[in-house]
Each structure stands twice: as structure tokens, then as C-alpha cells.
Amino acid sequence: MTSLLHKPVFFGFLHILILLLHMFYFSSSLAAFAQDSSSTATIFGTAVSAAKSRITGGNSTEAEALLKWKASLDNQSQSLLSSWFGISPCINWTGITCDSSGSVTNLSLPHFGLRGTLYDLNFSSLPNLLSLNLQRNSIHGTVPSGTDNLPKITELNLCDNNLTGSIPSEIGLMKSLNILYLCGNILSGPIPCEIGKLTSLSLLSLSANNLTGVIPFSIGNLTNLSLFHLFQNQLSGPIPSSIGNMSFLIDVQLQQNNLTGFIPSSVGNLRSLSILYLWNNKFSGSIPGEIGLLESLNDLDFSSNNLTGAIPNSIGNLTNLSFFHLFQNQLSGPIPTSIGNMSMLIDVELGQNNLIGSIPSSVGNLRNLSIFYLWRNKLSGSIPQDIGLLKSLYDLDFSSNILTGEIPNSIGNLTNLSFLALYDNHLSGPIPSSIGNMSMLIDVELDENNLTGLIPSSIGNLKNLSFLYLGQNNLYGYVPSEIGKLKSLEKLIFAENKLRGSLPLKMNNLTHVKWLDLSYNEFTGHLPQELCNGVVLERFIACNNYFSGSIPKSLKNCTGLHQLRLDGNQLTGNISEDFGIYPHLDYVDLSYNNFYGELSLKWGDYSNITSFKILNNNVSGEIPAELGKATQLQLIDLTSNHLEGTIPKELGGLKLLYNLTLSNNNLSGAIPSDIKMISSLKILDLSFNNLSGSIPKQLGECTDLLLLNLSNNKFTNSIPQEIGFLRSLQDLVLSRNFLAQEIPWQLGQLQMLETLNKAVMPTEQVVAVKKLHRSQTEKLSDFKAFEKEVCVLANIRHRNIVKLYGFCSHAKHSFLVYEFIERGSLRKIISSEEQAIELDWMKRLNVVKGVGGALSYLHHSCSPPIIHRDITSNNVLLDLEYEAHVSDFGTARLLMPDSSNWTSFAGTFGYTAPELAYTMKVTEKCDVYSFGVVTMEVMMGRHPGDLISTISSQASSSSSSKPPISQQTLLKDVLDQRISLPKKGAAEGVVHIMKIALACLHPNPQSRPTMGRISSELATKWPSLPKEFDTISLEDLFSHAVSVVD
């Protein structure tokens, strides 16, 4: 036990003894070594000194410089650098690296959260610094010019800080720089041209700053550069052609600037280039063909510029390209077929250009394609069947083109597709049933085409579908019950088709639908009763159908409802009970139904409602004063109900209201003077009520009024002269009241009251007034002759000519007084979607007959003949029975045959005969030409300018007596598409009248028929069709048009 206890002592003593022997041996050896070689001693001394230097931290000047900088930072930053203390930066100082001599070579503190400036960092004290990386901190202030005291530095990275000011020109002295990153700051001013001296640079990023000026030409000296980023600045001017010298470039990103000029052809020298981004600049000109030399290119984006010309065929050489963006330019020409060579393509976006021609079938070679956007171009032809080979496609958008033909059945092969947009084309035929194979679809947009047939039941397979747009087609039949399987649907649009029957009960399963549009179809039966069980419905549009029954009770649950349109149905129910509280409701239209009951006070609680329309129902009671609390209201239309009581003065608080229409009710009392407070009011129609008292002079304060209709009431006293202050007023109707006889002269100041309007008449008769401007009356040098002329015109009596009652002259103003025609101008009716649909083919044929008869009367039954000289759709008015009346003889003259006493051009552009461009001689054939234009406009539903230009240009190059038509345009394709094709009876009339119209448009006036002959042709029985209506072309019409010429 004793020996064991003393064993540690013994071993400790032994260890000390051995150590002393070693020290004695080492000192003896060292002495001997020193005597043998003094040079060896020097080397050893140096080694010891170096070791000591490493232990103590090397250059104390460097430590002092770093500590001084640390002290300039904020407290939190200083705490992050707590390891920085003493005089030894090479020992455990965070972010510091030293070389073998103990000198600092790297200062790297990226993503560190440091706050401060670089002003107190003395770069001259860090002569051996190779790398400075302070990326993604909060360093502010300017880039210090002292960085040029870093002769050895190869990397300077100050990206993603808050540096301001300009890039110092001294940066050009840092000749050893290999990496220069100043991106993501707030630097401004130009890029110094001295940057071209940094010939060792391989990586340069100045992106995401506010740099201005041009890219210096000296940039081309950086021939070792591989990465070149200047994106997201405000640089201007062209890309210097010297960029072609930078042959090692791999990644060039200059997007999001204001660069202009052409893309230099010298980019073709950059054979190593992999990424070229120039998007969102202002480049113009064409894409250089040399782009096809960049065979290493992976990503190419020239989108959002002003590039023109065709896509060069050489683009097909870029067989490694995966990302190809040219969208939002002005490129024209076809998509080159060589695109099929680019088999590595993943993303192709060529939308928003002017590309023409067909989609090349070679796109079927792009088997890796994931995104394919060609939207908003002018592409025509059919969608190639080869599209079905692109089985990797995820997004496909060919919308807003002129594509025709059917959707290929092969599209069902695209089983990975999630987004399919073909809307706004001319596609026809059915929706292919193969669409049911595309189970990954989320968004299908096929609206605004000419698709026909049934909605395929296979659509029920698309369980992931969120958006289904089928509106504005010619789809017919019933909605398949399988639609109820699409439980993820958020938007469902069936609008403007020919769908019919009751909605399937399974539509009640669509509890996630936010937007449901069933409008303009032929649906019958009840609305879906559980429509809003999901409480998410925001927009419900079911207008212009044949729905009946009551509003679904579940609609009260739709607290998120924004828009509700049920107008134009046969719905019934108590309007005061069927609605809940909808805090977000902004638009409601319940017009043209059979709703009854009284308006609820809670309509005033809808603080976001802008439009409130319940016209043509059976609503009774008073207008609630609470409606004045709905201060966002812009339109109120309660026309044709059974409302009674007074107009609540609270409506005066609706500052945004521009349309207040309460006509055809039983309202009584006076117009509240508070109405003057509605400063935005443009339309005020209170006609056909029992309103009484004086017309309030305060109406003169509603200075934006365009229409004021107070007719058919019980107003008394004088017309207030303040009405004359309404300088924007275009329509003023005060007829059928008990007003005083005087018309205040101030009404003559209404400059906008210059077209045919309902006049202010104290009698029961309604007339129209055309005011002549002072300049027009001043031209009446021979007033007596004009007065005589008007008297002659006033004696004209024809059922299709507006009666001219006379001419009223005043010291300041003059007026022509006409018969009032209720429906207004033909142009207005054709321009309105709703009214144009009412103008069916038989009504249109009668309009043409009426105009023809009127002109025949003027030309052949008046002595001397009268030439109208301004026949337009604006000067043809329609009455309540759609009978045509030719109007506006304010420019007409009485001419002897062959007279040419007009010396200045008059008429309306687009309607005047072509010979008036070179001769001022006006003949009846000028009216014949204008009649042809108006006839075509009636049939086409729009001005036929383009068609006339084609006819005229072909006629000028033809020696034949009849102008040819080169293209086999079908008649059915030029007719008004808003109404269905004419049926038997009307079809013969349309063909016959179109033949007459084409004959009237002959460029040679002598080859046009007379109005007498035309009127005769219009009165005869229409000849049978030579072939099926939908196969008749315009050329067919031309071949027979000459038969109506005398």
C-alpha cells in the first residue's frame, strides 16, 4: 500500500529530471550549432520572429484601422464584432483572414446586419487586402474614394446595402479587380468610363441602383468579363457596339432600363453567351440575324421593347435555348418554321406583337415545352394537330388572334396542361370531348369565339378546374349535369350563348363559385336554390334569360356579394323580403322582371353600392330617404314602376351620382332644391310623373348636365333662365307641362344643343330643333334666297322624310324646327348592343326601303330636284315603329340638273362619293353612293370602310365595267354578328339589298343606278336565292349587281 501511495511522487520527480536533461542537451546542441554557422542562426531568428508575429497578430496598424471602423458602427453592429479586440486581427477576429506574414487579406462579413458607413475604414492601412465582402448589410453613405489604395484587391462586393452617391472614377485604379459587385444600392450618376481600365474583371454587377447616362464605350475593353449585370437602373442610350469585343461573356443582363437604339449586330461575336436579358427597355429596330450565331444561348429575353420587323429565321440555330421571350413588342411577319429546331425550348412567350400567318406545325417538335404564349397577335389559320405532341405543356395561351377552324381533338393529349386560353379568336366547331382527358386543367378560357354544339359531358372529369370561361360563343343545348362534379370551380362563365333549359340540380354542388355568369342565354326554370350555401358568391349575373320563380332564399347568405344582375327575366317575389345584407354590394340590376313590394330602408346601408337599377317592375311605395346614405351611388334608375310620394331631398347628398332616372312613375310634389348639390349629375330624367310646382332654378347649378327631361308632368310658371347656364346640355325636354309661353333667350347660349333634340315647347306638340352657329348664319349672304329655300323644303311631304316646320331667326341665334322622331339616329341604335339586337332583319330591310323611297322622292318628284348631300346613318332617324326618316336639310340646296354651284366640300367623311376628291360637282349620284354606304352599314352593323376600300382598290385596277372581288368572302361573315342569320323571307331581301348596295358603291358615278331605279327594285318581290344563303359570297353578289343599273 505504501509503495502505491508514493508512486505518483516518484513518477513526477522522474518527469522533471528527464525534462532538465533535455534542456541541457538542447542548449549544448544550440551552442555548437551557433559556432558552426551564423547564417543558420539568422534563419532561425527569423522563424522565431515570424512565430512571435503570428502570435501577437502582425501589423498593429491594420488592427487599429479595423477597430476604428468598428467603433464608427452602431452599438448592435459593434456587439456583432465582439471578437474584434486587442492588436491581433489574425487570431479569431470574425470575418478576417490573414496571409502567412500576418497581414489582413480578406474582410468578409456578408449578411451580418452591420449598420454604418465606410468613411472611417482607412483602406491605405490594409495594403494587402485581396477581398472585401460586405454584401447584404445596412452600410450607407457613399463609396469611399480611398478604395483606390487597395492595389492588390481582386474582389469588392458591397451589394445589397444603402450606398448613395456616384461610383468614383478612382475605381479605375484598382487594376487587379476580378470581381466588382455594387448591386442593390441607391447609387446614382453615370458609370465612369474609367471602368474600362479594369481589364482583369470577370464579374461585374452594378444592377438595382439609380444609375443614369449611357453605358460607356470603354466597357468593350473588359475582354475577360463573363458576367455583366446592369439591370434595374435608369440607363439610357444604345448598347455600345464594343460589346462585341467581350467574347468571354456568359451572362448579360441589361433589362429594366431606358436603353434605346438597335440591338447591335456585334452581339453575334459573343459565342459563349448563355443568358441575354434586354427586356423592359426602349429598343427599336429589328432583331439582328446574327443572334443565330449564339449557339450556346440558354435564356433569351427581349420582351417589353419597341422591336419591329420579323423574327429572324436564324433563331432556329439556337438549339440549346430553353427560355425565349419576345412578348410586348411590335414584331411582325410569321413565326419562323425553324423554331421547330429548338428542341430544348421550355418557355416560349411571343404574345402582344403583330405576328401574322399560321402557327407552324413544326412546333410539334418542341417536346420539352412547358409554357407556350402567342396571345394578342394577328395569327390566323387553324391550330395545328401537332400541338397534341407537346405533352410537357403546362400553360398554353393563343388568345386574341384570328385563329379559325376547330379546336383539334389532339389537344386532349396535353394531360399536364393546367392553363388553356384560346379566347377572342374565330374558332368554330364543338369543344372536343377529349378535353375530359386533361385532368390537370385549372383554368380553361374559350370565350369570344364561334364555338358551336353541346358542352361535352366529359368536362366533368376536370376535378381541378377553378376557372371555366365559355361565354360569347354559339354553344347550345343543355348544361350537362356533370358540371356539378367541378367542386373546385371559382368562376363559371356561360354568358352570351344559346344554352337553354333548366340548370341541372347538381349545380348546387358548386359551393366554391365566386363568379357565376349565365347571362344572355335561353335558360328557363328556377335559379339554383342552394346557390349561396358556400357563402362565397361575389358576382351573380343571370340577366336576359327566361328564369322564373322567386329569388333563391340562400342568396341572403351571400354576404360577400359584389354584383347582382337578374334583369331581363320573369322573376317574381317581394322585393322588400328577398334580399339580405350585402356590405360589399356595388352593382344591382333587377330590371325587367315582375318584382313587387316596396323598396326596403336597408338599401341605404349598402355603403359601397354604385349602381341601383330596378326599372320596369311593379315596385310601389315611396323612394326611401335612407337611399341618400348610400354615398357611393353613381346611377339610380327606377323607371316604369308604381312609385309614389315625393322625391326625397336626401338624394342631394349623393355627390357622385351622375344618372338619376325616375321616369314613368306616380311621383308627385316639387323637385327638391337640394338636387343642386349633386355636382356630378349628367342625366336627370323625371318624365311621365305627376310632379308639380315650378322648375327649380337651382337646376342651373348642375353644370355637368347632358340630358334634362322633365316632360309629361304638371310643372307650371316660367322656364327658369338659369337652365341657360347648363353649357354642356345636349338634350332638353320640357314638353307636355303647363309652362308659360316664353322661352328664355338664355337657352340660345346652349352651344352643345346643336343636334336634333326634343325642343322646349309650351304646347303639347313635341318638335326637334337644330341650332345654327353664328358662323353658319353669317354665311347666309342672301338671306331672302335661303328663306325662300326653307319654305320650299317645308312643303315637302313624304312619310320617310322628317318634316321641316320652319326657320326661326333671332338677333343672336337661328334655329331650324323639325318634326321630332322618337328613337333617334340609326347610328345610335346600331352602336348600342341592346338596341341593335332589337333591330332585326325585317326591320333593317324596311329601314333601307324607307331611305331609298325618301331619296327617290327628292331626286325625281321634286322640281327642281333636291340633293341631300349628307346622307349618313346619323341623319337617318327611326320612329317608334322603326320607320326610317331622312333628316337634316341644313346643308341641302335646291339644284337644277347638272348645276354645280357649290365651291367647297361638304358632307361626312366615309359617306361621300369618291369623285368629290377631285371635282366639286355634286350630282344625285353622290347621294346614291352615300345611300350604298348607309345600306351596307345597316346590314353589317358597322361602317363598311374596310370593305369599301377593298372594292375601290380592286376597281381601280380593273378595266371591266364591274369591280372584281378577289377574295371569296362569304356574305354571312360580313353581316351583323350580333343577330342570328336571316331566315327564309328575310334572307332573300338581304341578298337583294346587298346587290343594290354594291352597285351603288361603284367608283364610276355613271355606272351607279338612279334612286328611282333603286326604289323600284326595293318595291319588287325579292328574287329567290341562287344557292344556300351561307354559301353566297360577295363575288356572287357583284356578278349580279349590275342588273339594277339603268
Separation in Å, CA 963 to CA 158, 838, 944, 954, 998 = 73, 34, 16, 6, 10
Span 130-156, average pLDDT: 91
| Measured distance CA(454)–CA(433) in Å, rounded | 10
Of 998, 1000, 971, 973, which is closest to residue 987 (Cα–Cα)? 971
**Rounded (10°) angle between helices 38-56 and 7-36:** 130
Span 272-278, average pLDDT: 99
Q: What is the pLDDT of residue 734?
A: 86
**E strand intervals along 561-698:** 563-565, 570-574, 587-589, 594-598, 611-613, 618-622, 635-637, 642-645, 659-661, 666-669, 683-685, 690-694
DSSP type of residue 1035: H
| Measured distance CA(242)–CA(223) in Å, rounded | 10
What is the residue type of 40?
Answer: T
Q: What is the pLDDT of residue 579?
A: 77
Span 539-546, average pLDDT: 96
Domain with CATH 1.10.510.10 in the chain: 825-1044
Q: Over the Cα atoms of the chain, what is R_g?
A: 42
Is the model's pLDDT at 483 over the cut of 90? yes
Is the model's pLDDT at 38 over the cut of 50? no
Confidence tier at 788 by pLDDT (50, 70, 90): low
Is the model's pLDDT at 901 over the cut of 70? no
**Rounded (10°) angle between helices 986-1000 and 1034-1041:** 70
Which of 141-150, 157-166, 614-623 shows the lowest mean pLDDT across its residues? 141-150
Of 154, 142, 145, which is closest to residue 194 (Cα–Cα)? 145
Q: What is the pLDDT of residue 955?
A: 53
State whether residue 172 is helix, strand or coil.
Answer: helix
Confidence tier at 784 by pLDDT (50, 70, 90): low
Contacts of 796 (CB under 8 A, 6+ apart): 803, 804, 857, 858, 862, 866
Q: Which residue has the cell 468613411?
A: 119
User: CB count, 10 Å around CB of 392?
Assistant: 15
Is the model's pLDDT at 29 over the cut of 50? no
| Measured distance CA(113)–CA(74) in Å, rounded | 11
Q: What is the pLDDT of residue 55?
A: 40
The model's pLDDT over 335-362, given as tens digits with 9 standing for 90+, comes to 999 999 999 999 999 999 999 999 999 9
Fold of 60-460+467-474: 3.80.10
Residues belonging to the active site: 870
State whether residue 825 is helix, strand or coil.
Answer: strand
Q: What is the largest CA-CA distance in the chain?
A: 159
**Rounded (10°) angle between helices 841-860 and 1011-1019:** 140
Q: What is the pLDDT of residue 719?
A: 87
Phi, psi of 679 (to 5 degrees): -70, -20
Span 701-720, average pLDDT: 92
Span 769-787, average pLDDT: 55
The model's pLDDT over 552-588, given as tens digits with 9 standing for 90+, comes to 888 888 888 999 999 999 999 998 877 777 888 999 9
Answer for the pair 424, 399: CB distance below 8 angstroms, yes or no. yes
Confidence tier at 50 by pLDDT (50, 70, 90): very low
Confidence tier at 745 by pLDDT (50, 70, 90): low
Q: What percent of the chain has pLDDT over 70?
A: 84
Is the model's pLDDT at 806 over the cut of 60? yes
| Measured distance CA(673)–CA(649) in Å, rounded | 8
Beta bridge partners of 98: 104
Q: What is the pLDDT of residue 125?
A: 93
What's the distance, CA 190 to chain centroid? 35
Is the model's pLDDT at 16 over the cut of 60? no
Q: What is the pLDDT of residue 764?
A: 54
Is the model's pLDDT at 763 over the cut of 60? no
Is the model's pLDDT at 9 over the cut of 80? no
Confidence tier at 428 by pLDDT (50, 70, 90): very high
Q: What is the pLDDT of residue 583?
A: 84
Contacts of 971 (CB under 8 A, 6+ apart): 990, 991, 994, 1029, 1032, 1033, 1034, 1036, 1037
Separation in Å, CA 246 to CA 194, 220, 268, 292, 656 = 17, 6, 11, 18, 61
Domain with CATH 3.80.10.10 in the chain: 60-460+467-474
| Measured distance CA(314)–CA(311) in Å, rounded | 8
Burial track 250-276 (b if 16+ CB lie within 10 A, e otherwise): bbbbbbbbebbeebbebbbbbeebbbb
Q: What percent of the chain has pLDDT over 90?
A: 67
Beta bridge partners of 804: 818
| Measured distance CA(191)–CA(213) in Å, rounded | 7
Q: What is the pLDDT of residue 40?
A: 29
Confidence tier at 811 by pLDDT (50, 70, 90): low
State whether residue 738 is helix, strand or coil.
Answer: strand
| Measured distance CA(7)–CA(85) in Å, rounded | 46
**Rounded (10°) angle between helices 924-940 and 1011-1019:** 40
**Cis link prior to 864 (omega < 30° from 0)?**
yes
Separation in Å, CA 211 to CA 133, 234, 257 = 22, 6, 9
State whether residue 1041 is helix, strand or coil.
Answer: helix
DSSP assignment of 975-1000 equals S-TTSPPP-TTHHHHHHHHHHHHHHH
- Between 820 and 828, name the one with better pLDDT: 828
State whether residue 396 is helix, strand or coil.
Answer: strand
Span 94-106, average pLDDT: 95
Which of 66-70, 158-162, 554-558 shows the lowest mean pLDDT across its residues? 554-558
Q: What is the pLDDT of residue 609?
A: 94
Of 541, 519, 528, 521, which is closest to residue 483 (Cα–Cα)? 528
CATH dotted code for 825-1044? 1.10.510.10
Answer for the pair 771, 815: CB distance below 8 angstroms, yes or no. yes
Of 641, 521, 538, which is closest to residue 583 (Cα–Cα)? 538
Confidence tier at 803 by pLDDT (50, 70, 90): confident
- Overall pTM > 0.85: no
Q: What is the pLDDT of residue 889?
A: 58
**Rounded (10°) angle between helices 924-940 and 841-860:** 170
What rounded mean pLDDT belongs to the chain?
Answer: 86
Answer for the pair 303, 279: CB distance below 8 angstroms, yes or no. yes
Q: What is the pLDDT of residue 20?
A: 40
What's the grid cell of residue 173?
Answer: 485604379
Beta bridge partners of 203: 179, 227
Contacts of 311 (CB under 8 A, 6+ apart): 287, 326, 331, 333, 335, 336, 350, 355
The model's pLDDT over 318-334, given as tens digits with 9 standing for 90+, comes to 999 999 999 999 999 99
| Measured distance CA(896)–CA(366) in Å, rounded | 73
Which of 590-599, 744-753, 837-846, 996-1005 shows the lowest mean pLDDT across its residues? 744-753
Is the model's pLDDT at 269 over the cut of 60? yes
Q: Which of 10-19, 557-566, 806-815, 953-962 shows the highest mean pLDDT?
A: 557-566
Contacts of 334 (CB under 8 A, 6+ apart): 310, 355, 356, 357, 358, 360
What's the distance, CA 182 to chain centroid? 37
Q: Is residue 664 exposed (0-12), middle (13-18) or buried (19+ Cβ within 10 Å)?
A: buried
Q: What is the pLDDT of residue 543?
A: 96
What is the residue type of 910?
Answer: G
Beta bridge partners of 476: 498
Q: What is the pLDDT of residue 954?
A: 57
The model's pLDDT over 658-685, given as tens digits with 9 standing for 90+, comes to 999 999 999 999 999 999 899 899 999 9
Intra-chain end-to-end CA distance of the chain, in Å:
150
What's the distance, CA 727 to chain centroid? 34
Q: What is the pLDDT of residue 833?
A: 87
Q: What is the pLDDT of residue 66?
A: 96
Q: What is the pLDDT of residue 753?
A: 62
Span 837-866, average pLDDT: 92
- Between 973 and 186, name the one with better pLDDT: 186
**E strand intervals along 729-820:** 731-733, 738-739, 757-758, 767-772, 804-809, 814-819
